Amino acid sequence: MDFLEITNLNISYPTRRLLVAAVQDVSFSVRKGEILGLVGESGSGKSTIGRAILGLLDEPGKIEGGTIQLENHDLADPATEISSFRGKRIGLIFQDPQTSLNPVMTIGEQLIETIQTHLQLDANEARKRAVALLDDVGIINADARFNDYPHQFSGGMRQRVVIALALCADPDILIADEPTTALDVSIQSQILALLQKLKADRNLAVILITHDMAVISEVADRVVVLKDGRIVEMGAPAAVLGTPSQTYTKSLVSSVPPTDRRIDRFPIMGAEQNHAADHNLKILNRWQLQKNTGASLVRVEALSKSFSSEGFMRIGTNEPVHAVRNVSFEIREGESFGLVGESGSGKSTIAKMIVRLIEPTSGAIFFEQDDITTLDGPALLAFRRKIQMVFQDPYSSLNGRMKIKNIIAEPILHHNARLERADIDHYVDDLLAAVDLPASSKERYPHEFSGGQRQRISIARALATQPKLLVCDEPTSALDVSIQAQILNLLKDLQEKLGLTILFISHDLPVVRQMCDRIAVLKDGAVCEIAAAEQLFASPEHSYSQHLLNSMPKFQP
């Protein structure tokens, strides 16, 4: 018998109108010293299973049937005193290290409290144990940092502290719910290595919950693929992800952007492929298409931006933060230019300066030969019409109280107020068609749409002014991989048909490889390397680019 065995687990969320079955007939088991990957898209029930094991389902979720057998205890049985397992036998860590730690307690306090909850130790012994744990998870200088607050640690260090907290009482099982999703790739590879080391050193059973196929294929010993609360397939990662037997797994695997080559389009399973953009030609009637000459559209020269911290009763020195230092590059008409870097590299700041949402500290930005940093009045308005932005978070970038038609019509009215009402209606229809949304969407509100659909609405809104340059700031990083594939296909089609130039900002290297012609690699606000995409991935020159590419999890089905 395996260490933890889940048999025929059923979990449902009763709502007023209907019973939502979140998990149906799920059975799997975990051994000690093994990493089991639970993989699936949002709504697949993977996190629900993780929480159910610890009896931490959100209201009104309920285990309807099945067993969760740990040695001779059934954790699914309401009679089991499940709180005595939390932390002691089973540790659980969450996705976002920024929010997993109590911000007003030092990490030492939190560790000691947890240790003393489970073990009979006095303050001194507990402290010793805590420092040893911090050492184990790779916190440098653990003793000195003991009384630091969570905000004084970087994201990766915080996730290490979180792992130390979960290991306080030497649990036998660690459930890691998307432990690296909020982290940069180089930090991600360190945390994954740490999980593997802990698994081996402590003979730990690890349940790794993630949407990231590449992470699973790198570290998991076995994988369970979930869809809509049911198990689709399970087995060794090489078999399941390499030669999937189920259609769903096949389509999931094919949506993952390959790391080792560039493909033309993502194959979308089930849907008719490559039907792309025959019907979206309607907006072309309004589009003043020009031949892309390959001349420079945007030229950034010695751009810098520093933020100085200010505020009442600031303690400490007011050293300005240099977010962008002396950055120069050029975007040619019709190309996709990628800005790649980890968090804090200044990539979003550069994008915001190019669309003039913030002002640069020094340097110049030329758009079609005009220095846009000095534009104002009508000239600025005309410039804004030619450059549009698609934001990362489709949930906060659409005004929830406006109908879709008003959201899309707003930029049209703003830039061309003389259009007839009926004409605008037609235009909105055409734009919706261009992003593959039905015309009936326009009478609805943003909350009625899924993340992918909302991102399509954002794109339609951006196209409304017939821009030349589309700035996409992490447009797919909040989306599931199959939706991401659709959105990336859409962007590629639109670019081809409409002759768009795209500035594509992302931390996700495989995505950038699929999307961009040329790529600038950023680190700490400065450019390390600018190269053609394939050249960069084949033979990166700068040491930081090499480091980034090495830490990228390779997905090789």
Partner 1 sequence: MQSVGVMLCVALLSFSLFNFVGDPINNMVGEETSTEERAELRETLGLNDPIHIQFGRFVVNAAQFNFGKSYQLRRPVSELIAERMPATLELVIASSILALGFGVFLGVYTGINRTGVLSNIILFVSLAGVSLPTFVIGILFIYIFAVILGVLPSFGRGEVVQIGFWSTGLLTASGLKALILPSLTLSLFQMTYIIRLVRAEIMEILQTDYIKFARARGISNRSIYFGHALRNSLIPVVTIAGINIGTLVAFSIITETVFQWPGMGFLFIQAVKFVDIPIMSAYLVFIALVFVAINFIVDILYFLIDPRLRTKSENRDG
Cα distance between residue 74 and residue 94, in whole Å:
24
Neighbours of 54 (CB within 10 A): 20
In sequence order, the β-bridge partners of residue 502 are 336, 470
Instruction: Point out which residues pair with 370 in neighbouring strands.
Output: 367
Interface with partner 1, residue 165, by CB under 8 A: yes
Q: Considering only 91-99, 425-433, 485-493, 541-549, which stretch makes contact with partner 1 by CB under 8 A?
A: 91-99
The residue range among 145-153, 188-196, 209-217, 475-483 that interacts with partner 1, by the rule CB under 8 A, is 145-153
- 80, 196, 292, 343: residue in contact with partner 1 (rule CB under 8 A): 343
Q: How far is the CB of 133 from partner 1 (least distance, A)?
A: 13
Q: 338 has which bridge partners?
A: 504, 519
By CB under 8 A, residue 326 contacts partner 1? no
The values of phi and psi at residue 227, to 5°, are -145, 130
For partner 1, give the closer residue by CB, 116 or 296.
116
Contact flag: residue 16 with partner 1 (CB under 8 A)? no
Query: To the nearest whole angstrom, how small is the minimum distance from the Cβ of residue 162 to partner 1?
Result: 7
**What kind and span of H or E run contains 336?**
strand 336-340
The amino acid at 524: D
How long, in residues, is the chain?
557
What Å distances lie between residue 224 and 12, 107, 229, 230, CA to CA?
Answer: 20, 34, 12, 10
Q: Measured from the CB atom, is 315 or 422 closer to partner 1?
A: 315
Q: Does 207 bind partner 1 (CB under 8 A)?
A: no
User: Least separation, in Å, of the C-beta of 316 and partner 1?
Assistant: 5
**Is 88 near partner 1 (CB under 8 A)?**
yes
Q: Contact between 86 and partner 1 (CB under 8 A)? A: yes
Q: Is 151 in the site for partner 1 (CB under 8 A)?
A: yes
Considering only 105, 263, 281, 382, the residue that binds partner 1 (CB under 8 A) is 105
431, 408 contact by CB (below 8 A): yes
Sheet containing 526-532: which strands, arranged edge to edge?
Answer: 387-390, 469-473, 501-506, 336-340, 518-523, 526-532
C-beta closer to partner 1: residue 42 or 100 = 100
Task: Report in angstroms how near the CB of residue 540 gets to partner 1 at its nearest.
Answer: 20
Q: Which phi and psi angles does 233 have, rounded to 5°? A: -160, 150
- Residue 87 three-state SS: coil
Q: What are phi and psi of 242, to 5 degrees?
A: -80, -50
Verify binding: residue 405, partner 1, rule CB under 8 A. no
Nearer of residues 127 and 262 to partner 1, judged by Cβ:
127
Q: Which of 35, 36, 38, 93 binds partner 1 (CB under 8 A)?
A: 93
50-69: which residues touch partner 1 (CB under 8 A)?
54, 56
321 binds partner 1 (CB under 8 A): yes
Q: Is the Cβ of residue 430 or residue 474 nearer to partner 1 in the bound state? A: 474
Neighbour-count burial for 299-320, b at 16+ CB within 10 Å, e otherwise: bbeebbbeeeeeeeeeeeeeee
Q: CA–CA separation, 542 vs 549, rounded Å? A: 11
E strand map for 40-142: 62-70, 73-74, 90-93
Closest separation between CB of residue 348 and partner 1, Å?
A: 6
Closer residue to partner 1 (CB): 75 or 225? 75
CB of 111 to partner 1, least distance (A): 10
Give the DSSP H/E element, type plus range, for residue 50: helix 46-53
Segment interacting with partner 1, rule: CB under 8 A, options 125-133, 240-248, 250-258, 335-343: 335-343
Interface stretch with partner 1, choices 236-244, 274-282, 340-348, 462-470 (CB under 8 A): 340-348
In the complex, what is the shortest distance from the CB of residue 88 to partner 1, in angstroms, rounded to a whole number? Answer: 6
**Which residues, including other chains, have CB under 8 Å from residue 109's CB and lie 6 or more apart?**
none
> Contacting partner 1 (CB under 8 A), which of 188, 254, 345, 501?
345
114 near partner 1, rule: CB under 8 A? yes
Which tokens in the block code for residue 500?
Answer: 């768009």
**By CB under 8 A, is residue 323 in contact with partner 1?**
yes
Alpha helices by DSSP H, listed for 141-230, are 155-166, 185-202, 213-219
Residue 29 CA to residue 432 CA, distance in Å, equals 46
Nearest alpha carbon to residue 524 among 213, 216, 252, 184: 184
Q: Which positions from 283 through 312 interact with partner 1, judged by CB under 8 A?
A: 307, 309, 312
Does residue 123 bind partner 1 (CB under 8 A)? Answer: no
Instruction: Supply the minimum distance, in Å, between the C-beta of residue 299 and partner 1.
Output: 22
Stretch that binds partner 1, among 275-283, 344-352, 453-461, 485-493 (CB under 8 A): 344-352
Q: In degrees, to the nearest 5, what angle opens at C-alpha 193 toward C-alphas 190 and 119?
A: 100
Q: How far is CA 45 from the centre of its chain?
A: 18
Q: Does 144 bind partner 1 (CB under 8 A)?
A: no
Q: Which residue has the tokens 């606000």?
A: 525
Q: Distance of CA 419 to CAs 290, 382, 512, Å?
A: 23, 17, 38
Place of tokens 């932390």: 87
* One of 37, 45, 66, 87 touching partner 1 (CB under 8 A): 87
Q: Is 14 helix (H, G, I), strand (E, B) or coil?
A: strand
Figure out which of the listed residues 78, 103, 377, 438 binds partner 1, where binding follows CB under 8 A: 103
Q: Which is nearer to partner 1, 19 or 105 (CB)?
A: 105
Based on the shown chain and the rule CB under 8 A, indicate whether residue 140 belongs to the binding site for partner 1: no
- Of 93 and 252, CB closest to partner 1: 93
Residues that bind partner 1 (CB under 8 A): 54, 56, 83-88, 91-96, 99-106, 113-114, 117-118, 149, 151-152, 154-155, 162, 165-166, 168-169, 307, 309, 312-316, 321, 323, 341-349, 522
